[in-house]
C-alpha cells in the first residue's frame, strides 16, 4: 500500500508509506492528488520539474506538496506519477500528469493548503502523515 486516507473532522489527511525517503515523498504526493481526483483517470502526458529546499524533512515535505498544489491551482494540472531525488534537504522532483479535463476528471476535494498540523515524516519507519486544509 502506498498511502491511505486519515479520518479528520474538518480537513483531509493521508498516511503514506515508502521503503526509501524518496519513495515516501513520491507516495505522499500521489496521496495528496488522490484526494483531488481519481488517479486512475489520469494519464502522464506532460511533465514538470520541481525544486524545493528546506531546513528539515518536515518543511521539505510541506514545500514539495505546496509547490505541486501551486502548479495544480495556477496551471490547472493534475499529477499521477512522481520521481524524487533528495540530497540532505534539497529536493529535485518530476511530476507527470495532464491538464484537467472535466469530461474525464471528476474533481473531488479542493485542497487549499498543506498544514503542519500533526505533520510527521519518519524515514526510519517509512511513514509520513499530512493534514490538508480543504
**pLDDT value for 9:** 72
What is the grid cell recorded at 73? 491551482
Can you give the residue range of the structural domain that contains 14? 3-133
Q: pLDDT tens digits, residue range 46-88?
A: 999 999 999 999 999 999 999 999 999 999 999 999 999 999 9
Looking up residue 7, the CATH number of its domain turns out to be: 3.55.10.10
CA 6/CA 71 separation, integer angstroms: 24
pLDDT at position 10 is 79
Per-residue confidence (pLDDT) for residue 7, from 0 to 100: 78
Maximum C-alpha span of the chain: 42
CA 112/CA 100 separation, integer angstroms: 17
Average pLDDT over every residue of 33-39 = 96
CA angle 83, 88, 94 (to 5 degrees): 15
Residue 1 confidence class, pLDDT cut points 50, 70, 90: confident
pLDDT at 17 over 80: yes
For the chain, the domain total comes to: 1
User: 83 - beta bridge partners?
Assistant: 94
Q: CB–CB of 105/44 below 8 Å? A: no
What are the grid coordinates assigned to 111, written together? 485542497
- What DSSP state is assigned to residue 99? E
Q: What is the pLDDT of residues 82-127, one digit of tens each?
A: 999 999 999 999 999 999 998 999 899 899 999 999 999 999 999 9
Amino acid at each position: 500500500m502506498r498511502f491511505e486516507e486519515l479520518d479528520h473532522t474538518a480537513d483531509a489527511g493521508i498516511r503514506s508509506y515508502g521503503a526509501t525517503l524518496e519513495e515516501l515523498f513520491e507516495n505522499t504526493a500521489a496521496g495528496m492528488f488522490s484526494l483531488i481526483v481519481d488517479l486512475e483517470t489520469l494519464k502522464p502526458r506532460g511533465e514538470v520539474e520541481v525544486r524545493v529546499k528546506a531546513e528539515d524533512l518536515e518543511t521539505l515535505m510541506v514545500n514539495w506538496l505546496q509547490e505541486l498544489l501551486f502548479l495544480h491551482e495556477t496551471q490547472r494540472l493534475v499529477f499521477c506519477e512522481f520521481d524524487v531525488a533528495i540530497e540532505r534537504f534539497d529536493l529535485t522532483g518530476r511530476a507527470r500528469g495532464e491538464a484537467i479535463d472535466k469530461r474525464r476528471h471528476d474533481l473531488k476535494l479542493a485542497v487549499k493548503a498543506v498544514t503542519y498540523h500533526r505533520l510527521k515524516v519518519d524515514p526510519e519507519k517509512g511513514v509520513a502523515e499530512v493534514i490538508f486544509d480543504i
